[in-house]
A and B are shown apart, each in its own frame.
Chain A
């Protein structure tokens, strides 16, 4: 076997401020996670199947049965479909948390985390890389879902700039729930539990919202929860930005979170990221040493 060259000056580690290393190392880990996506296309395929089925099922099965307040009564099922598609976007990006939870639980279960831990890399980079990759992956998911939406009659009415704003909000939201998912994943004893029990919270989060049905018809307590659920403000903000029916009752929302849907969504994301990134980094450092 060939002999190994002696260490030379060329191998001296580069120097950079700590935050720079966190970004650098986070990107290296994110790249690794994105390569995984490419190598296991089944995973992303199946993560697309569910929302696509939801779009088709809600659009064609329930479509006509769900009236949208404020929408043109003649539009009927068409109004619901335009209402629904941004809701499915919101619901789908919320599930970005699932890949963070399961992915981290798998990493912890395998030896790879020991490799990361024995390297002089920035603490937290494993988590930053994971959450970034999981959010970025949602861009592809959103492209496919948007195409499906176009097929069922959903349209962008307010121009490209607003639409980009809506997609940016969705990706920000994906990044946010990815942090919550990462924190959950760090507490899972094994990947199996992670992919079942670790995902339970996402269901009430997405269903107690305006993602699929207008808030108007909900019973009082549920309605209040849904009004303050950031998934609702996210879906509403997207509907506004895309120019789709919002389901706003004639008297208005009369609740701050929905009157300022985009702002409330961004604020929620910032607060949740701050809290859960701190918690997750702390748990990661503890649980792995």
Chain B
């Protein structure tokens, strides 16, 4: 991701934000080109929400500089707000209002014409499968429905740039898939998205570019594939039927692998570094077959983003999930 920064949808340089002694964001750089989805991936407490809040004008950075849609977030927050939508980690909707009333309120506060507000609300309710529940207080909505309503509210003014802070955290698998579908649709329509997640799988699914952050710093970025390569490439693993053939199997794999194979006697497993994707599998099968070696199993292992995280930070992503302290200050929120 090295586009020219001038025409980036989101550009941040050296962002710093302290909360007392905690350095929530610690010199963060970020560029999101128009029309792309960038995933901000990091464990709980990494500084994702703080970063999004700074970019969405909800928080002022202590240092650094950021533009959204080419507009400085610190000096012209109102102008930025006209081009962005924000769906926070906690659904920012009014529970006592119906879904439709929520959208109506938000549309009016965007200062959109009433006729447009009405039409747009209907459209979004329909799109997000909320039409049936549109006239019920949001209090009665499920978690997934609340998130979709929250997202609809963010979309009332058809923002070019959308911030999604952990859009699926706390959702059941079905709602999560629904949310992914919705996000992919938005991106297909040309919306630029900065999305944060703790789920490696989610970043992999939704984002072209992934920025891995830990303790307020960017520790890696690239496409999912680039990150995986950084950790080490693909590996071919075979399990032979007879332990006596392990040596022969390793030898015959040499023809297709990039380096020496390693042998594990206990599991009758041979592992070899490879490249070239799935054609390697075909070549390996031919080679083993030619040597007359019988196998029980054969897989091409690609490193997961979990591996990436472990390699980059020395700790697994989800393990560190310390409860986000909601101390002292006012922002002790509860999960909606």
Q: Residues of A at under 8 Å CB distance from B?
A: 1-7, 10-14, 16, 21, 24-25, 28-29, 31-32, 35-36, 39-40, 108-121, 125, 188-190, 287-289
Note all chain B residues with C-beta closer than 8 A to A36. Answer: 94, 96-97
Interchain residue pairs with CB less than 8 A apart (27): A1-B126, A2-B123, A3-B189, A6-B158, A13-B82, A13-B110, A14-B111, A28-B108, A36-B96, A36-B97, A39-B97, A109-B330, A109-B334, A110-B336, A111-B150, A115-B86, A116-B109, A118-B85, A118-B86, A119-B109, A120-B110, A121-B109, A125-B109, A189-B328, A189-B332, A287-B330, A289-B57
Note all chain B residues with C-beta closer than 8 A to A14. Answer: 111-113
Task: Give CA–CA (A288, B97) in the complex, Å.
Answer: 23
Query: Is B18 on the interface with A (CB-CB < 8 A)?
Result: no
The residue in chain B whose Cβ has the minimal distance to the Cβ of A13 is B111
Task: Give CA–CA (A2, B189) in the complex, Å.
Answer: 12
Note all chain B residues with C-beta closer than 8 A to A7. Answer: 158
19 further A-B pairs in the complex, CB-CB below 8 A; given A24-B111, A112-B92, A119-B110: A1-B129, A6-B158, A7-B158, A10-B116, A13-B82, A21-B111, A25-B108, A36-B96, A36-B97, A110-B95, A111-B90, A112-B94, A114-B58, A114-B90, A114-B92, A118-B84, A120-B109, A190-B330, A289-B77
- By the criterion CB–CB under 8 Å, are A1 and B185 in contact? yes
| In the A-B complex, the 5 residue pairs with the closest CB atoms | A115-B92, A111-B92, A111-B90, A120-B81, A39-B96
Task: Give CA–CA (A114, B185) in the complex, Å.
Answer: 25
**With contacts defined as CB atoms under 8 Å apart, how many contacts are there between chain A and chain B in the complex?**
139
Note all chain A residues with C-beta closer than 8 A to B113. Answer: 10-12, 14
Q: Which of A24, A116, A289 has the most CB of B within 10 A?
A: A289
Query: Is B157 on the interface with A (CB-CB < 8 A)?
Result: yes
- By the criterion CB–CB under 8 Å, are B58 and A1 in contact? no
Note all chain A residues with C-beta closer than 8 A to B59. Answer: 289
Minimum CB–CB distance for B35 against chain A, Å: 15
Task: Give CA–CA (A288, B154) in the complex, Å.
Answer: 19
Would you list which residues of chain B between 124 and 143 have a CB under 8 Å from chain A? 124, 126-129, 137
A32-B97 contact given A1-B127, A10-B115, A13-B112, CB 8 Å threshold:
yes
- By the criterion CB–CB under 8 Å, are B96 and A289 in contact? no
Query: Is B93 on the interface with A (CB-CB < 8 A)?
Result: yes
- By the criterion CB–CB under 8 Å, are A4 and B332 in contact? no
Note all chain B residues with C-beta closer than 8 A to A110. Answer: 90, 92, 95, 333-334, 336
Size class of the B contact interface (CB-based, 8 Å): 35 or more
- By the criterion CB–CB under 8 Å, are A120 and B120 in contact? no
Minimum CB–CB distance for A73 against chain B, Å: 52
- By the criterion CB–CB under 8 Å, are A111 and B333 in contact? yes
Query: Is B13 on the interface with A (CB-CB < 8 A)?
Result: no
Task: Give CA–CA (A65, B150) in the complex, Å.
Answer: 58
Query: Is B106 on the interface with A (CB-CB < 8 A)?
Result: yes
The residue in chain B whose Cβ has the minimal distance to the Cβ of A188 is B330
Minimum CB–CB distance for A97 against chain B, Å: 19
- By the criterion CB–CB under 8 Å, are A289 and B60 in contact? yes
Minimum CB–CB distance for A264 against chain B, Å: 36
Task: Give CA–CA (A24, B114) in the complex, Å.
Answer: 12
A119-B137 contact given A1-B185, A28-B105, CB 8 Å threshold:
no
B58, B85, B96, B332: the one contacting A109 at CB < 8 Å is B332
A118-B56 contact given A4-B127, A10-B113, CB 8 Å threshold:
yes
Task: Give CA–CA (A119, B85) in the complex, Å.
Answer: 8
A11-B112 contact given A1-B129, A4-B189, A287-B330, CB 8 Å threshold:
yes
Task: Give CA–CA (A6, B112) in the complex, Å.
Answer: 15
Note all chain A residues with C-beta closer than 8 A to B112. Answer: 11, 13-14
- By the criterion CB–CB under 8 Å, are A112 and B93 in contact? yes
Task: Give CA–CA (A6, B90) in the complex, Å.
Answer: 28
Note all chain B residues with C-beta closer than 8 A to A10. Answer: 113, 115-116
A40, A112, A190: the one contacting B332 at CB < 8 Å is A190
Task: Give CA–CA (A1, B131) in the complex, Å.
Answer: 12
Note all chain B residues with C-beta closer than 8 A to A29. Answer: 105
Task: Give CA–CA (A289, B77) in the complex, Å.
Answer: 11
Note all chain A residues with C-beta closer than 8 A to B123. Answer: 2, 4-5
Task: Give CA–CA (A110, B153) in the complex, Å.
Answer: 16
Query: Is B101 on the interface with A (CB-CB < 8 A)?
Result: yes
Note all chain B residues with C-beta closer than 8 A to A24. Answer: 108, 111
